[in-house]
Structure 1
Amino acid sequence: MALEHGSLLADVPVNLAEEVFQPLLARPGLKIERIVSNGQASPAGFWYNSAQAEWVLLVSGSAALEIEGKEGRHVMRPGDWLHLPAQCRHRVAWTDEGQPTVWLAVHYEGVGN
């Protein structure tokens, strides 16, 4: 059995024009990825709407999400996590412009999304 390992905080890209999505582990029905944002936000009118559920942990930086049907913005700081059920329309309102925002996202399928 081969071991896989790494560090969420190693080689964090800084000041890139686009967010970076780095797959860490993928199996049928499961994807774990590191997302690095440097001040990016979702384009106007754009909403994520995945067929999979997503559990996301904010590791560093800060961000705010807008969730369809919920009033206001969900501000996230290091250590905060959020579970987004499948088909939960959401968007990134803003991410920290002064430092990289590092996310750990777990996308999964299954009963009880």
Structure 2
Amino acid sequence: MQPEHGNLLAGVPAGAAQEIFEPLLQRPGLRIERIVSNGQASPEGFWYDSAEAEWVLLLSGRAALELEGQPRLHTMRPGDWLHLPAHCRHRVAWTDATQPTVWLAMHYGSGEG
């Protein structure tokens, strides 16, 4: 088996009309992906509600998430991370429209632990 490597900030697409989800590593019970946003937000009324837990790190750009039941948006800057337990309903309120917003997302298990 050969080691794999890459650079999370290489080849970041700017100005894409849709968010781009790029799988980096997939194993049973684990999925790691790079997400690139260019001003996108979740559609009005749409909520993510995953059976998997998600740990997300913002690498560049800026964004805000709306977490169901929370009175304020959760604003994120580079270096900020957030753990979302399974079935934690959330949506992307906004992402930076002036530069790509790059996320590292890890989806795993059922949120236990």
TM-score category of the 2 structures, normalised to the smaller one? over 0.9
Match of 2:100 in 1: 100
Question: Does structure 1 retain, via aligned residues, the 8 Å contact 2:51–2:110?
Answer: no
Shift of 1:72: 1.0
Q: TM-score, normalised by structure 1?
A: 0.97
Q: Distance in 2 between matches of 1:8 and 1:71?
A: 32
Pairs aligned (count): 113
- Structure 1: 4+ residue segments shifted above 6 A: none
Q: Distance in 2 between matches of 1:81 and 1:43?
A: 23
Match of 2:8 in 1: 8
Cα-to-partner distance string for 1:28-61 (whole Å, 9 max, x where unaligned): 0000000000000000000000000000000000
Question: Does structure 1 retain, via aligned residues, the 8 Å contact 2:65–2:75?
Answer: yes
Cα-to-partner distance string for 1:58-110 (whole Å, 9 max, x where unaligned): 00000000000111100000000000000000000000011000000000005
Shift of 1:111: 6.2
Match of 2:87 in 1: 87
Match of 1:48 in 2: 48
Shift of 1:2: 1.1
> Match of 1:18, as an amino acid?
Q
Q: TM-score, normalised by structure 2?
A: 0.97
Unmatched tracts of structure 2, length 5 or more? none
Match of 2:24 in 1: 24
Q: Secondary structure at the match of 1:105?
A: strand
